[in-house]
Amino acid sequence: MSDHHGNVAPLGVFDSGLGGLTVVHALRELLPQENLIYLGDTARVPYGTRSADTVVKYARGCARILVERGVKALVIACNTVSAVAIEVLRAELDLPVIGVVEPGAEAAVVAMARLAQTEPGPLGCVGVLGTAGTIASGAYSRAVSKINTRLEVVGQPAPLLVPLVEEGWLDGQVPELAVRRYVGPLIERGARVVVLGCTHYPLLRPVIERVAEDIAGRTVPIIDGAAATALAVSQLMRSDHIEPNGAGIRATLDLLVTDLPASFASVAQRFLAESLPSVAQIDI
């Protein structure tokens, strides 16, 4: 396998579809000098409803394509893959692999610790909104208990939120009602912080924040897994595992999809909040 070629080797990012572009957006903000290749497996989206074996198989295919393109690290911008396939990929690949679950869990634990300093009495638990697959996997519970065994995690599948985001319904009554339906049970079960356990959800963050505060009657910290993941990547780069790109280079962004490049491009614009490079279709 190639070594991590000089400085200009890109970071590879993949997801089952579009959602991982929130991670790309966060990486572009935090590490503007880094070249990125993004692969969205749009032919086989969604992963959240698939069996673990199928997700592992798909994840291997996506990883192989990015490794062949010489990436120096792999960012799994998909909660489902991070939940069920990250250990397999770490065992099989000789480059750093970062998922979205561990950074999100870590940020939630930090937020709970902050609350504990300001609020007396029992603290409640960490709430996670996610796809059915991510919630069923228990990945956030495991990741949180690795850091703090005393913190309880409650999960809530929120299947309507992804289609709302992809349709661009980011405000108004419809997303508000859907968010209320999912966030309500989390707050009732004692959630004091809410982790956005799906990379689509950051686009609904303002609605989620508002609804959670309204139901709880106080501020509820909302943990954006995409931003937490970008931070984890930058920390990994600083700890010298990954050679950073030289400053002053205009970073490139390559977008690859396995199907429907035109419809991907039209929605991707919303996720990235920048003008879009061309989208190439590839076969896996």
Residue 94: beta bridge partners? Answer: none
CB 151 within 8 A of CB 105: no
Has domain 101-225 been given CATH number 2.60.34.10?
no
- For the chain, the structural domain boundaries read 11-99+227-281, 101-225
Pick from 12-26, 117-131, 171-185: least confident:
117-131
Q: Is 179 exposed, middle or buried (0-12, 13-18, 19+ CB in 10 A)?
A: buried
Predicted pLDDT of residue 7: 62
Q: What is the pTM of this model?
A: 0.90
CATH match for 11-99+227-281 among 2.70.170.10, 3.10.580.10, 3.40.50.150, 3.40.50.1860: 3.40.50.1860
In this predicted model, what pLDDT tens digit does every residue of 109-124 receive, in sequence order? 999 999 999 887 778 9
Distance CA 17, CA 268 (A): 10
Mean pLDDT, the chain, rounded, equals 91
Percent of the chain with pLDDT over 70: 95
Predicted pLDDT of residue 232: 95
Same fold, 11-99+227-281 and 101-225: yes
Distance CA 178, CA 209 (A): 13
Higher-confidence residue of 283 and 15: namely: 15
Distance CA 269, CA 252 (A): 16
Find the mean pLDDT for residues 18-34: 93
Find the mean pLDDT for residues 222-231: 95
Residue with tokens 């603290």: 123
In this predicted model, what pLDDT tens digit does every residue of 243-254 receive, in sequence order? 777 666 668 999
Query: Which sequence positions are flagged as catalytic?
Result: 78, 198
pLDDT at residue 201 greater than cutoff 60: yes
**Type of residue found at 253:** L
Predicted pLDDT of residue 4: 42
Per DSSP, helices labelled H in the chain are: 21-30, 52-68, 79-84, 86-92, 101-118, 132-137, 139-147, 161-167, 173-188, 205-216, 225-238, 261-272
Find the mean pLDDT for residues 140-159: 96
